[in-house]
Amino acid sequence: MMKLWRMFETLVTMVMMAAVIGASPAVAQANLEINTPGVAALQASMQKRHGELAPLYASGAVGLTRDGNVALRDPAAVPLAQRATANGLVAAENQDRAALYREIARANNHPEWEGDIRNTFAQRWIDRAQSGWYYQSAAGAWVRK
């Protein structure tokens, strides 16, 4: 569990650093490593949830979407008794991800950059997904990495 979190933490750092180099001019100018109380709280919330989401990614039940969110890709892969919990995890993760993108844009004094920041994170999450995880292609099809 701790190893997965360290990988997640490293991924977040790498995403933030790599995003400065690529993407749009707005994102290239953004400080994606900005550390505000809001960003820290969101990262802590996501860290706490990651341990519960990791098995869902590994089973293929949950996948990474092309828009920087996660989705319950295959509900049948989750036992019916646990499906509501899985849906709740996905909803909470998406809420935190949206808030993270918004907070980074706001902390840079450029709320209009939120879309560019979201797109940059979306691609980096997919690029760094573990083997066997599902993600959405640019066309929207689910692909197993």
Instruction: Give residue 49's identity as a one-letter amino acid code.
Output: R
Q: Is 62 helix (H, G, I), strand (E, B) or coil?
A: strand
φ/ψ of residue 143, rounded to 5: -130, 140
pLDDT-above-90 percentage for the chain: 74
Residue with tokens 């689910």: 142
Q: Is the separation of the CB atoms in 142 and 136 below 8 Å? A: yes
Of residues 86 and 15, more confidence is placed in: 86
Q: Look at residue 17 in the predicted model and tell me its pLDDT.
A: 42
Supply the pLDDT for residue 101: 97
Neighbours of 9 (CB within 10 A): 14
Question: Structural domain boundaries of the chain?
Answer: 2-144
What does the alpha-carbon distance between residue 80 and residue 69 come to, in Å, rounded to a whole number? 23
pTM here?
0.81
What integer pLDDT is reported at residue 20 of this predicted model? 38
Predicted pLDDT at 6: 54
Q: What is the pLDDT of residue 22?
A: 46
Does position 3 have pLDDT exceeding 60, yes or no?
Answer: no
